[in-house]
């Protein structure tokens, strides 16, 4: 056969009707085993791989794809363990609905598929992305179901969140209980324009990004005058750069609260390179509860969040929305983990 075989060709070769051959592939109607064997054998002889999924998508009016907006470049996204574990949870829970995941960057300079152009049926937006508000507007304009992970999109959008403010407050109280007064905060992006820089005192700093704002509020309730260093994204390099700013100044902090474990690992490396002992000279906390390679024998004092469960809850909410069923918001609680990177304030 010089042309691509069709299901009709398979039916003729197997000696059955086209409708019978079709139900063998759909699996929606019981077919005699002998008939199924004949159809599949005919398909193998002809080199027929099965119905074109694009045709099925056209009949259903759906692509079978759910978008997840990661904001940054994919290399940085896959270097973030919390993001990858969260996406794994999303993928597992939407699999039952027959959908797959498409990762999207929603940035003006990005030339690939975006929320406005990608063939998706629904979308999960991640609140630590500085472009969340723009992404939300784009998704709403298309009229597709939306779920937000760690962000506030209003009462009409299901939100899967963690207790970021309370968790960061708990870490700050832990640092206060150890006698620290000169404290610095290393934050996730304050806005889409954020670079690694000193942003000012905690009580005066404003954040446009939901996750950053909640964790900042939790820390400044305990340390309103803490120095804030903002970063462009959650990477070890950004944490290291922030640490160099802090430890290269005249009056260095005795404790640093970083808004992610990845940032905390960078701060830790900067402290050691500056000749400081951890935790004797400076205490460092993170946030997330992940295992960071390359910082042994240190174990970060942090708040562990259920990232996989968070993603799975988001996927379940998306699956319900795709089935035209109501989906509720859900809030997870973080757990305090005391490592060996915090200790009493130096005298």
Give the largest CA-CA distance in the chain.
Answer: 89
188 and 76 in a common domain: no
84 and 38 in a common domain: no
Q: Write out the chain's pLDDT in tens, 347 residues.
A: 567 888 888 889 889 888 888 888 776 677 888 888 888 898 888 888 777 655 555 455 566 788 888 766 666 677 788 888 998 999 888 887 778 888 887 665 666 677 777 888 888 888 666 666 777 777 888 888 899 998 877 778 999 999 999 999 999 999 999 999 999 999 998 887 777 888 888 999 999 888 999 999 999 999 999 999 999 888 999 999 999 999 987 789 999 999 999 999 999 999 999 999 999 999 999 999 998 988 999 999 999 999 999 999 999 999 999 888 999 999 999 999 999 999 999 98
170 and 285 in a common domain: yes
181 and 288 in a common domain: yes
Look up the domain containing 19 and give its range.
Answer: 7-51
In this structure, the number of other CB atoms found within 10 A of the CB of residue 18 comes to 13
298 and 168 in a common domain: yes
- Contact in structure between 170 and 336 (CB atoms under 8 Å): yes
Which domain CATH number covers 298?
A: 3.40.50.2300
CA distances to 155, 217, 313, 314 from 159, in Å: 9, 20, 10, 8
196 and 319 in a common domain: no
34 and 152 in a common domain: no
221 and 110 in a common domain: no
Does 196 map to a domain? yes
292 and 168 in a common domain: yes
Does 339 map to a domain? no
122 and 218 in a common domain: no
Does 316 map to a domain? yes
Does 347 map to a domain? no
Does 345 map to a domain? no
241 and 182 in a common domain: yes
Tell me if residue 288 falls in helix, strand or coil: strand
186 and 256 in a common domain: yes
Contacts for 324-332: CB closer than 8 Å, 24+ residues apart = 327/147, 327/158, 328/158, 329/158, 329/159, 329/160, 329/161, 330/158, 330/159, 330/160, 330/161, 331/161, 331/162, 331/163, 332/160, 332/161, 332/162, 332/163, 332/305, 332/306
Question: How many domains is the chain built from?
Answer: 3
- Contact in structure between 209 and 190 (CB atoms under 8 Å): yes
């Amino acid at each position: 056969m010089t042309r691509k075989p069709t299901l009709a060709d398979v039916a003729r070769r197997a000696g059955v009707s086209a409708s019978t051959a079709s139900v063998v592939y759909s699996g929606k109607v019981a077919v005699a085993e002998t008939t199924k064997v004949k159809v599949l054998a005919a398909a193998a002889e002809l080199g027929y791989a099965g119905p074109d999924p694009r045709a099925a998508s056209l009949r259903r009016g759906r692509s079978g794809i759910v978008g997840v907006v990661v904001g940054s470049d994919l290399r940085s996204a896959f270097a973030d363990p919390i993001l990858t574990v969260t996406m794994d949870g999303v993928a597992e829970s939407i699999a039952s609905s027959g959908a797959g995941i498409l990762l999207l960057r929603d940035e003006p300079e990005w030339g690939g598929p975006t929320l406005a152009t990608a063939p998706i049926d629904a979308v999960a937006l991640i609140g630590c992305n500085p472009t969340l508000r723009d992404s939300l507007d784009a998704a709403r304009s298309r009229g597709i179901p939306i779920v937000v992970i760690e962000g506030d999109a209003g009462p009409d959008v299901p939100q899967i969140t963690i207790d970021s403010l309370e968790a960061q407050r708990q870490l700050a109280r832990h640092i206060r209980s150890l006698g620290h007064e000169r404290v610095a905060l290393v934050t996730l992006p304050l806005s889409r324009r954020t670079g690694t820089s000193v942003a000012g005192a905690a009580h005066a700093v404003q954040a446009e990004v939901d996750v950053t704002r909640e964790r900042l509020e939790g820390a400044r309730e305990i340390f309103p005058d803490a120095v804030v260093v903002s970063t462009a994204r959650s990477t070890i390099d950004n944490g290291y750069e922030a640490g160099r700013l802090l430890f290269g100044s005249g009056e260095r902090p005795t404790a640093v609260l970083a808004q992610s474990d990845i940032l905390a690992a960078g701060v830790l490396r900067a402290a050691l390179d500056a000749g400081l002992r951890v935790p004797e000279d400076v205490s460092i906390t993170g946030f997330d509860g992940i295992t960071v390679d390359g910082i042994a024998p240190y174990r970060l004092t942090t708040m562990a969040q259920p990232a996989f469960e968070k993603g799975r809850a988001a996927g379940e909410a998306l699956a319900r929305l795709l089935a035209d069923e109501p989906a509720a918001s859900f809030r997870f609680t973080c757990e305090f983990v005391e490592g060996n990177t915090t200790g009493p304030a130096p005298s």
